[in-house]
Chain A
Amino acid sequence: MSEGNMNLTLKVWRQKNQKQKGELVTYPVSNVSPDMSFLEMFDVLNEDLVEKGQEPIAFDHDCREGICGMCSMFINGRPHGPKEGITTCQLHMRSFKDGDTVVVEPWRATAFPVIKDLVVDRSAFDRIIAAGGFISVNTGNAQDANALPIAKEDADKSFEAAACIGCGACVATCKNASAMLFVSAKVSQLALLPQGQPERYSRVQNMVEQMDKEGFGNCTNTGACEVECPKGISLENIARMNRDYLVAKAAH
């Protein structure tokens, strides 16, 4: 074992499919480089499993640079592991110590059923977006950017909300499996811009209605989502959504 490398005990959720019950299975992993990402460590473990003729662990991953939001792993009780402001692919093994036991579970929510092992079905988010997370514009050339004045502060806030990658960490960590942070970010990014105004109040109603239909929980303002969000989406967005929803129901 080269210097600085470590041996870990992994406890990983294994579940064949949506129907069958799953369980935590223990895997010793040796000679893990601290420079590996958490996903690379899983790659190594999976190669090992394949060589042994065992079924590799299914897990979601895509860009491996923190922008796609696929790598949904609940590591030692926290989405994307012990560090804040990062996704699982940006988590490095130097965040762990030799001899550590690491428990890896899938996102847990009725609205996110487990497909296999650590892979969950997050299409509930897609249906919420389809319910209203868009603007309707005629096609054609984009107009000159300066033709539409937008206050810097609003542009910044909209951009911050738009940083949401839809990873589902907010749902995963919320004690109520609530999707408010996600939905409020998607409502806010458009509510803050002039292009989002024509559909502002129908959008918030439709998206909230879809969110409720999907079976997500309610917000108790614990603030856990904001802490665990890899993109630092603020609770201010939830308040904005609450406000817009109230106005929408009262006057639209």
Chain B
Amino acid sequence: MSSSSSFFTSSLGRKFVMGITGIFLITFLIVHVGVNAMVFLDSSGELFNTAAHFMGTNWLIRSMEFVLFAGIILHIVQSVVLTRANKAARPEGYAVSGSNVNSKWYSRSMGLLGTLILMFLIIHLCHFWVEARFGIWGGIPEGTVAGTHDMFAQMKIIFSNPIIVAVYVLAMISLSYHLMHGFQSAFQSLGLNHYKYTPAIKAIGIWYSIIVPVLFALMPLYVHFVINK
């Protein structure tokens, strides 16, 4: 006999959506950091521009853009609904909290870390994505081939400002801690907890949450301190 309640509005269903969108966003980060890494391979920026051009024009990638935005929005909407429910579940807090003894601070601060990442994301999209698509603030400089974007040149402009570089680096610290909890937590929410695989998932999660944000953070630093010199 099936119960009448809907999966997607239940507590477990919402957590499932958080987990599955989280893992999807984790896979997106691999692609993104891969494209970024082209800058380290070729400091003339040609390789990076080729990769960026492919990402901006390939039909499959372009259609995934919609899925990506949908994933981000779902992840945010669910987190807001869940956080509100969590607050309602304990309106009156404790006078003394010993939570530092039984859990990690970043596992309890996912909402805060996520908000910081969202704020960064808006800034970051304005710098590159909005400019490439709509050119609101003057657009991206034109590439060597007419009609293409010189994303590398745009990067050099954006990252000439040390404050922006600092914002990017700080955002990557937030991302690192968000992933540190989120990576393994997503698997648990999907019910994927097994004595054979969970230790590996946790280890990969820790490495991932360090390596990927570090690679991301290195790019604005590299452009600001090496390429722009």
Point out residues on A near B: beta carbons under 8 Å.
Answer: 11, 24, 74, 76-78, 82, 103, 105, 108-111, 173, 175-178, 202, 205-206, 208-209, 211-212, 215-224, 227-228, 235-236, 238-246, 248-250, 252
Q: How far apart sit A78 and B101, CA to CA, in the bound complex (Å)?
A: 9
On whether the beta carbons of B95 and A217 are closer than 8 Å, the reply is no
Closest-CB distance, B137 to chain A (whole angstroms): 38
- Which of B86, B181, B191 meets A242, CB within 8 Å? B191
- Count residues of B near A (Cβ-Cβ below 8 Å): 44
| Pairwise interchain contact A220-B185, C-beta atoms closer than 8 A | yes
Contacts of B185 in A (CB 8 A): 220-221
CA distance A205 to B86 in the complex (A): 21
Contact (A109, B90) CB under 8 Å given A205-B5, A208-B12: yes
Q: Smallest distance from the beta carbon of A75 to chain B beta carbons, Å?
A: 9
Q: Which residues of A have CB within 8 Å of B99?
A: 77, 173, 175, 222, 224
Contact across chains for A215 and B5 when beta carbons are under 8 A apart:
no
Q: Which residues of B64-114 have CB atoms within 8 Å of chain A's CB atoms?
A: 82, 85-86, 88-99, 101-104, 107-108, 110
A74 to B93, CA, bound (A): 12
Residue of B nearest to A21 (CB): B92
B 1-37 binary contact with A (CB < 8 Å = 1; else 0): 1110101001111111000000000000000000000
Indicate if B44 sits at the interface (CB-CB under 8 A): no
Among A24, A219, A228, A241, max chain B CB count under 10 A is at: A219
Q: What residue of chain A has the Cβ atom nearest to residue B91's Cβ?
A: A110
Q: Which of A74, A202, A218, A246 contacts B191 (CB 8 A)?
A: A246
- Residues in A neighbouring B10, C-beta threshold 8 A: 208-209, 212, 245
Interface residues of B (CB under 8 A from A): 1-3, 5, 7, 10-16, 82, 85-86, 88-99, 101-104, 107-108, 110, 181, 184-185, 188-193, 195
Q: Name B89's closest neighbour in chain A (CB-CB).
A: A217
Verify B96–A242 contact, CB threshold 8 A. Answer: no
Most A CB contacts (10 A, CB to CB) among B88, B99, B107, B108 go to B99
Q: For B82, what are the chain A residues with a Cβ–Cβ distance below 8 Å?
A: 218, 220
5 additional contacts (CB under 8 A) given A82-B98, A105-B96, A177-B89:
A78-B102, A110-B89, A205-B5, A211-B11, A242-B189
Task: List chain B residues, Cβ under 8 A from A248.
Answer: 2
Highest count of chain A CB atoms <10 Å: which of B86, B88, B97 = B86
B107 and A221 form a contact (CB under 8 A): yes
Chain A residues with CB under 8 Å of B93's CB are 108
A206 to B113, CA, bound (A): 34
List 7 A-B pairs, minimum CB-CB distance, nearest first. A77-B98, A243-B191, A239-B193, A217-B89, A176-B86, A242-B191, A227-B102
Q: What is the bound-complex CA distance between A249 and B1, given in angstroms?
A: 10
Chain B residue nearest in CB terms to A11: B95
